[in-house]
Chains A and B, each alone.
Chain A
């Protein structure tokens, strides 16, 4: 099995994020790591490899610091890591990013492409299925169980769906996006981390992806970012004090008259 995993460097969920006063961007605290759902994808790829053999390659697109998450992937056990790194690739929307990632995947043999259900920063869940479309392969999102049948060239997956689960079969190659519950990602061994820190990370530029600068990044995006906005602030909490019976009475009164929520 040849497996490609797409991973993204994202801020920790606790990182402080501030919208710049002029709305031109956001300032994010230096506290980054591999997107949680992507780590599920890496783990699943490694488990499949451990069962059936083959290779796992991790690909990321982003600024040069994205090598950190590729190193995490190597520490966990992936065989190779590729960073798509070029100024022109940055600042694009999910569509433009997917286009470049798909071109990266195409440079490799693949039976399965895995990624997280969505990235923490934009929470879109778009890149995976769009990559699948560029590759011309089917996609299943939000999978919580994967059973590969390499002989039959197919994969059976369980996905979270409306009101329950669906059991789906897809021919290989296919793209799957990982949902919580798929597995528990391993903590990389210390020696794996050390090895990863020394590992060579391959870089691919636009030319080797066979793409032009107008097809990717901000120019290749289908969306235009107009401005960033501070989220509306909830008014300060009103503490209701007293003994439980009084608290309850006051709460109901407030919900009725002030919040008009009853």
Chain B
């Protein structure tokens, strides 16, 4: 094809959104995916916050294979042998539009790939982009396992490790401080059984996060999402924190989590369908020097766009929006006939005007707060011990509630560190 406008590397959400928008706007685009189809290397916990994304990809969602709309949120603080759970549900989570959905990325991204093809984008699976074509420092295409593919511009959506982002000089290698590994099981359960077990209406779903002793003092937590006919159950664990302590073998952590009395009954009778793992950027935007260069742009996880806010964990919405905005910048660059660094600077402008960089800037330091180990041992322990005192009726006389609260706060919580932690929490 003479004069290919754009090559997109990576069939995840950022790459697919970029290719979709480009093709839809009439640009010629090839998307490369190294797996059998888009989605075959993708993995999420997974919940997609669709609401922020709609303005950027308004027309797309009618027949999307979304699993369940999340109408029930749960957070559980886990200590050894005890836990405290908070549950929230509201009509606001349903109306006017459901704000978030559970998803399984393999079918979801595969569907998205078909959408890209429908609007005229070329999705080429089973092809790994191994290098960038460069001319006088300018990116002029890609090399796919020996074959050179020239293009006006290359959008790198090659994932959290982004080997090509490094080759383009846009970012450094991922630092273990800024990454966590998420790993999970997809467990089959009958549709009706899920609704019964979790008290859900048809098509509605639960998002359940866990933190505390399950990660043995290491930054991270557990999650459970209900899909249409399965559960996604897994853990997220900070790489550096884990490597420093090595508190267990990683696969064992999940087994112990599953064996917890809070979890075991929820997955009972389920059949394991798949075991998967993926890295998650946690503050990895620090690795990124620039979001664009001469003839090249960085989007999605590759750009470090993800936010773990403790109780909301986001990444896919950032990926979709940044991909769509990269496409927008490329489209404008094509109109100007200029794909140089200066012209592509528009991408950053667009990102700054969107929730992507606004939220990244506002909350970009939350990972440091969350990395604090007291969140994973002392505070869950406090909550659970307090609850125990409040709820348990023992042999002796019962204390006044106010007194219990004061005693606990004094013994377990009130020290200079706590105040420091509280001060830091304002970041959230």
Residue on B with the closest CB to A31?
B36
Chain A residues 149-208 with CB under 8 Å of chain B are 187, 189-191, 193-195, 197
- A-B CB proximity, top 7 nearest: A194-B122, A193-B124, A190-B147, A194-B1, A190-B149, A189-B147, A197-B122
CB distance from B339 to the nearest CB of A (A): 20
Residue on A with the closest CB to B126?
A187
What is the CA–CA distance of A195 and B28 in the complex, to the nearest angstrom?
A: 13
What is the CA–CA distance of A201 and B124 in the complex, to the nearest angstrom?
A: 19
Contact status A190-B144, CB under 8 Å: yes
Chain B residues 16-38 with CB under 8 Å of chain A are 30, 36
Write out the residue numbers on chain B whose beta carbons fall within 8 Å of the beta carbon of A191: 1, 149
Write out the residue numbers on chain B whose beta carbons fall within 8 Å of the beta carbon of A12: 36
Contact of A193 among B36, B117, B122, B145 (CB under 8 A): B122
Write out the residue numbers on chain B whose beta carbons fall within 8 Å of the beta carbon of A31: 36
Chain B residues 313-333 with CB under 8 Å of chain A are none
B99-124: CB near A (< 8 Å → 1, else 0) gives 00000000000000000010000101
Q: Is B74 an interface residue (CB 8 A)?
A: no
Which of A189, A190, A193, A197: most chain B CB closer than 10 A?
A: A190
CB distance from B7 to the nearest CB of A (A): 10
CB distance from A27 to the nearest CB of B (A): 15
Residue on B with the closest CB to A75?
B124
CB distance from B127 to the nearest CB of A (A): 7
Q: Can you list 15 A-B pairs, Cβ within 8 angstroms, ordered by A?
A: A12-B36, A31-B36, A189-B147, A190-B124, A190-B127, A190-B144, A190-B147, A191-B1, A191-B149, A193-B122, A193-B124, A194-B1, A194-B30, A195-B1, A197-B117
What is the CA–CA distance of A90 and B8 in the complex, to the nearest angstrom?
A: 38
What is the CA–CA distance of A12 and B117 in the complex, to the nearest angstrom?
A: 22
Write out the residue numbers on chain A whose beta carbons fall within 8 Å of the beta carbon of B1: 191, 194-195
CB distance from B84 to the nearest CB of A (A): 41
Write out the residue numbers on chain A whose beta carbons fall within 8 Å of the beta carbon of B30: 190, 194
Write out the residue numbers on chain B whose beta carbons fall within 8 Å of the beta carbon of A189: 147
What is the CA–CA distance of A187 and B125 in the complex, to the nearest angstrom?
A: 12
Chain B residues in the interface with A (C-beta under 8 A): 1, 30, 36, 117, 122, 124, 127, 144-145, 147, 149
Residue on B with the closest CB to A195?
B1
What is the CA–CA distance of A189 and B145 in the complex, to the nearest angstrom?
A: 10
SS of A interface (majority): helix
CB distance from B27 to the nearest CB of A (A): 14
CB distance from B190 to the nearest CB of A (A): 15
Q: What 12 additional pairs, Cβ within 8 angstroms, besides A193-B124, A194-B30?
A: A12-B36, A187-B145, A189-B147, A190-B124, A190-B144, A191-B149, A193-B122, A194-B1, A194-B122, A194-B124, A197-B117, A197-B122
A128-161: CB near B (< 8 Å → 1, else 0) gives 0000000000000000000000000000000000
CB distance from B79 to the nearest CB of A (A): 38
What is the CA–CA distance of A189 and B127 in the complex, to the nearest angstrom?
A: 10
Write out the residue numbers on chain A whose beta carbons fall within 8 Å of the beta carbon of B36: 12, 31
Residue on B with the closest CB to A14?
B36
Residue on A with the closest CB to B110?
A30
What is the CA–CA distance of A193 and B147 in the complex, to the nearest angstrom?
A: 13
CB distance from A40 to the nearest CB of B (A): 18
Write out the residue numbers on chain B whose beta carbons fall within 8 Å of the beta carbon of A187: 145
Write out the residue numbers on chain A whose beta carbons fall within 8 Å of the beta carbon of B147: 189-190
Write out the residue numbers on chain A whose beta carbons fall within 8 Å of the beta carbon of B122: 193-194, 197
Write out the residue numbers on chain B whose beta carbons fall within 8 Å of the beta carbon of A190: 30, 124, 127, 144, 147, 149
CB distance from B120 to the nearest CB of A (A): 10
Residue on B with the closest CB to A193?
B124
What is the CA–CA distance of A237 and B30 in the complex, to the nearest angstrom?
A: 47
What is the CA–CA distance of A194 and B149 in the complex, to the nearest angstrom?
A: 12
What is the CA–CA distance of A197 and B125 in the complex, to the nearest angstrom?
A: 13
CB distance from B203 to the nearest CB of A (A): 24
What is the CA–CA distance of A191 and B2 in the complex, to the nearest angstrom?
A: 10
CB distance from B274 to the nearest CB of A (A): 12
CB distance from B54 to the nearest CB of A (A): 28
CB distance from A110 to the nearest CB of B (A): 32
CB distance from B345 to the nearest CB of A (A): 30
Write out the residue numbers on chain A whose beta carbons fall within 8 Å of the beta carbon of B117: 197
What is the CA–CA distance of A195 and B1 in the complex, to the nearest angstrom?
A: 8
Residue on B with the closest CB to A187?
B145
Residue on A with the closest CB to B125?
A193
What is the CA–CA distance of A194 and B23 in the complex, to the nearest angstrom?
A: 14
CB distance from B273 to the nearest CB of A (A): 11
What is the CA–CA distance of A172 and B149 in the complex, to the nearest angstrom?
A: 41
Residue on A with the closest CB to B122?
A194
Write out the residue numbers on chain A whose beta carbons fall within 8 Å of the beta carbon of B144: 190
Residue on A with the closest CB to B144?
A190
What is the CA–CA distance of A190 and B149 in the complex, to the nearest angstrom?
A: 8
Residue on B with the closest CB to A12?
B36
Write out the residue numbers on chain A whose beta carbons fall within 8 Å of the beta carbon of B145: 187
CB distance from B9 to the nearest CB of A (A): 13
Residue on A with the closest CB to B146?
A187
CB distance from B167 to the nearest CB of A (A): 19
Write out the residue numbers on chain B whose beta carbons fall within 8 Å of the beta carbon of A194: 1, 30, 122, 124
What is the CA–CA distance of A31 and B127 in the complex, to the nearest angstrom?
A: 17
A105-137: CB near B (< 8 Å → 1, else 0) gives 000000000000000000000000000000000
What is the CA–CA distance of A191 and B144 in the complex, to the nearest angstrom?
A: 11
Residue on B with the closest CB to A189?
B147
Write out the residue numbers on chain B whose beta carbons fall within 8 Å of the beta carbon of A197: 117, 122
Write out the residue numbers on chain A whose beta carbons fall within 8 Å of the beta carbon of B149: 190-191
Chain A residues 1-15 with CB under 8 Å of chain B are 12
